[in-house]
Each structure stands twice: as structure tokens, then as C-alpha cells.
Chains A and B, each alone.
Chain A
Amino acid sequence: MQGDTKHLSPYVYFDERLCIGCYHSVRVCPTRAIRIRNQKPLHFHEHCIGCGECIRVCPTGAMRAVTSELTALEKDHISVALVSPVLYSQFPGIMPEDVLNALRRMGFQHAADMSYFLEMFQCAADEFIARNRISHQAPWPLISPVCPVVVRLIAFQYPSLLPHILPIMRPVALMAREVIRRIIARYGVTKEAITLYYINPCPTKMSPERLTFHHEQPCIDKVLGINDVYPELFGLLEKMQKGDRPDLPPDQFSYGVTGHSLIWGMSGGEIAGMKSERTLAVSGLKETIAYLEKIEMGLFQDLDYIEFRTCPEGCVGGTLTGIDKYLSKNFIQKAMLNMGLKKRVCQDEILCLYDEGGFQAKSSLAKLAQRFAAQKKPLSIRELSEIDNILEKIKGTDCSACGAPDCKTFAEDLVRGKASMEDCLFMKKAQ
């Protein structure tokens, strides 16, 4: 990290030289963690849930995702790329197998596709829903644990919904566990000799220790954004298109890509093919928040399962993708026509593993929720009235010129002694 850059949170870092002190990031932050003071942003980094909205809207690129750097792959390690299905959709017209081969040409010893584990996850989710409809152990609707921003948003703002999160290990964790098992068996090495790289479109998954909230060990070692590998992969794939195809032996750690895997990148891909018809797919941060608010009021209890993705259109709309989400979607839809939605997992095997507890997630979300709660100081009834009085006085337009995302937040900052009335343009005019 250079002198002028600093980590704002585990997920975002900030380059002060590029910052022009605008209000874009202030306004989009769902946890209201950013203010502008003296033309520079002030961050309440402990409120960051890693949604990446600030990275998305920052006009100068001052806000960036914290990623593992793609340094030379360590030669003495067995390096494995775990591939998010979104990666394939970044290269329209190219077969997923070629993308995996290009990763191996980049230097990864193995490139593993996720489809099989997505199927496993879905099968386990179906089973949990079916059993729970009988036992009534968990509250309805269940919420998908797949999008890490959603689970963190719940821990931050809707802790009463934590029991709704499906307690099944996420596909990436199922994948990491199996890949490690097979490599140890094949090469006779220890876990320490293996480096797992997770290539995905999302800043919130970037630091490996942040990934463990809904996982069991072992997990990922390093995390790369799709945009970190996109340029090099693009070059290699162009070469391969032109006929420069070195003979790579088939990768025995690849499980074969299916349409099932590709569709996961899109909103609705997780619930496609689930047994229950009482499912819903919601994408976008605002939309997700609107639904969580309503679930908290006891609505949607007639639904079994809701897939939430805070990125628009699902993971194809992630912050760290290489191409536009609509182009990705178009390619996925075309590829699906060719590949179909067939499933391969053997249901009996999955049920066996399920009964052995092989899908149980050890969640640390309750702890995270406690950490978030400890940072929030309650307001008193008198302070709430004061906030109302201030808002009445300002009659503002949420202009953000004071450095807060909206007038209500400004009034709250004022009451908490974190802002001064002179910061408000409307009050200045009135004087």
C-alpha cells in the first residue's frame, strides 16, 4: 500500500490523491458510513459491509476494492483457481472449458469449475426446506446465504432475521473442501502446500478471513477480482482463438461446466431448478433492503426461500467484472440454450452427506451482529424529538452539501455532536 492510500475497511481502500471530495459515495452507502468533511471523505469504517457501491459510483477511481495481489504464482505451491461461474460470462462466444484452460496457461496448476457444487448446494437447500416444512424449526421465509453482502447487511441492520439465513455451507466452501481433499489424496501433500485462489466479481469476498462467516475450514487462501485477471485472460483467449492451442491434458479437477453453473451468475439462477415453487429472486441493494424491511414485519411467510443479490441483475452486475452485466446476461442465455439445465449430482449421495452433517454451516454471523450492535449508540426519545425539530427547521432537500447523505442523517449527526449547524446551506441562507 502506498503512502496516500489507506484501507477504509476490510473491503475498501481509498486513494486520497484521486479524491475530489464529491458526494457520490456518501449518498449510495447503505449503512451511511461516509461523510465529507473539509472536501475529504470521513469513513466510519466499522459500518462498512463491503457492498462495493462506493467503488461503483466513484467517478475518479479513488475508492477501490481490497484484493489479494496477483503476484507471480508461487512455484513451490500447488495453485488452484476456483472459478466463479460469472467469469465465463465475461467472454461471450468462448466455451467455458477454454476459459479454464486459459487460466491454466496463466500458471494455475488447476482450474476448477463450480457447477457441481452449486448443484450440491441446491440439493441440500431443497432438503432443508422439505424437512423444515415438517419440523417447523426455522422461520419463513428462509434467506439465501450465498450473497455475502446480504448476510452482512442482515447482521448490521436486521439482526432479528439472522435465524432466517439458510444454515447450509455456501457453494464456494463446499468446493474448497472437496478440491483440497482431492489434491491431498492425489499428490500426498499437506494443506499448507496448496494455495486456493477464488476468482469472483465481488469486493466483499476479497479478504479470505472475511469469507469464513458462513463456512467451515478449510477455506480460500487468496481472492482475486475478475477484473484482476481479465486483461491477461483476454489476451490468452484471443491467441487460442487464432489457433495457438498448446496441448493441455484434461484437468482432472475440473468437474465439467453445465448451464446450471452459468445461470447462477444471473438473478434467479440460484432458485432455478429448485423443487419448491414458493421462491423469489430479488436483486439490487434498494430492492433487497425493501424486502428485508418487510420480512422483518412478518411478511412473506408463505414463501420458502428468497435469493437475494445486492448487485443489480445478480453477480453479473458485480463491482469487479470485466464487461457490462447485460452483455453477460445475453451470453449466458445463449449458452444455456446449448447446454441445458441438466443435473448430475446423485441425490442419494447428497442425502447421505446431509445426514452426516456435511452441509452444516458454522455461522459466525451472530458474533458479527453483536460487533455491529456494540458500535451503535442508542438515541433517547428526547434526541429523536430533537432530530424531528431540526428537520422541521431545515426543511431541506437532501442536497448533501453538508457532507451527510441526507438531512435526516445530518440531524442525527448534529444531535450526536458529530456535525455543526453551520454545515447546512439552508440554515446559512436563512440567517
Chain B
Amino acid sequence: MSSLKKIFPVNKKDFIHAGEASIYVKNLLKSLQIDPKIIRRASICGYEGEMNVIMHGGEGSLFLEINPDKVTLDISDNGPGIENIELAMKQGYSTASERYRELGFGAGMGLPNMKNNSDEFAIESEKGKGTRVQMVFYTGGGGHAG
């Protein structure tokens, strides 16, 4: 079974390059011509994940694995971690500062959005060590798996 693995660095406060990894992933998925709806879901999740690292996290990365039947996104950072995951998963809960909100971020939709748009979602975090979010999107093995 063939698979493609790629890793993209994502750095804190790097707003200039925000979204570049997700755009790259989106275009890779497009060249495979998998279902546009799945591409949309995966790129929304990738972007939310990237933004979380950029706003809250430390140094981090977005890891992508494409298999014939699924796409996996694994976003991790060595930032401050999440104190209360249950709370962080609530819609509208946000620890983003006023400044971020003025930029249009920090609506408290990031993690819930990622959960809603992925087929499998897992989050682990340790205070002071960092956060890791894993998401899986099933592509049904259609398109050009080869």
C-alpha cells in the first residue's frame, strides 16, 4: 500500500505564513482528485489547527499522511498546553486575547470546528509541555489510490 508522508513546520506568531501548510495540503489532495467535500473539510481542519499553533502554541508542526483510504492530519506543538480540554472543546470558549479577536480570530470555534469536520478526532495536551491534535478523514479509497 502506498502512502505519502509530509511534515510542515508551523511557528508561533507567524501570521504572515499562516495557512500555507494547509493550502499546500489542499492542493496535494486536489491533484489526487479526491472528493472536493473531503478536501474542504480537511483544509478547514488544517487551517484551524495551524492557527491554534500560531496563536497559542509554541514551535510546532503539521504532519500529513495520505493513504488510499484516508487522510491523516497530526498537528502538534510544544506550547503552554491546554489546562481544561473539556472546556476548550466547548463552542464559543476562547482564551484568545482582545487583539486576536479584533483580527477575526478567537471566536472559540477552532477545536469544535475541527471535531465536527473530521471523521476521527483525538486531542491530548499537557500543561507546560504542549498539545497534539490528530484528525482522520476517510476518503473511501476512491479516486486514484494506486
Report A's interface with B, CB cutoff 8 A.
159-160, 293-294, 296-299, 302, 376, 378-385, 388
Contacts and interface: CB of A to CB of B under 8 A. Distances in A.
A380 B19 contact: no
Contacts of A293: 19, 23, 26
A160 B40 CA distance: 9
Contacts of B23: 293-294, 297
Question: Which DSSP category, helix, strand, loop or mixed, fits chain A's interface?
Answer: helix
Given A297-B23, A378-B144, A381-B67, 8 more contacts: A160-B40, A293-B23, A296-B26, A297-B22, A297-B44, A297-B46, A379-B144, A380-B2
Nearest to B30: A157
A159 B23 CA distance: 15
A382 B3 CA distance: 7
B94 to A, nearest CB: 16
A384 B66 CA distance: 10
B108 interface: no
Interface residues of B, number: 27
Contact of A297 (B33, B47, B144, B146): B47
A238 B14 CA distance: 55
B140 interface: no
Contact of B145 (A294, A296, A381, A385): A381
A381 B32 CA distance: 7
A159 B35 CA distance: 12
Nearest to A380: B146
B4 A385 contact: yes
A256 B36 CA distance: 47
Nearest to A384: B4
A378 B33 contact: yes
A384 B31 CA distance: 9
B33 A381 contact: no
6 contacts: A293-B26, A294-B19, A298-B40, A379-B32, A385-B2, A385-B4
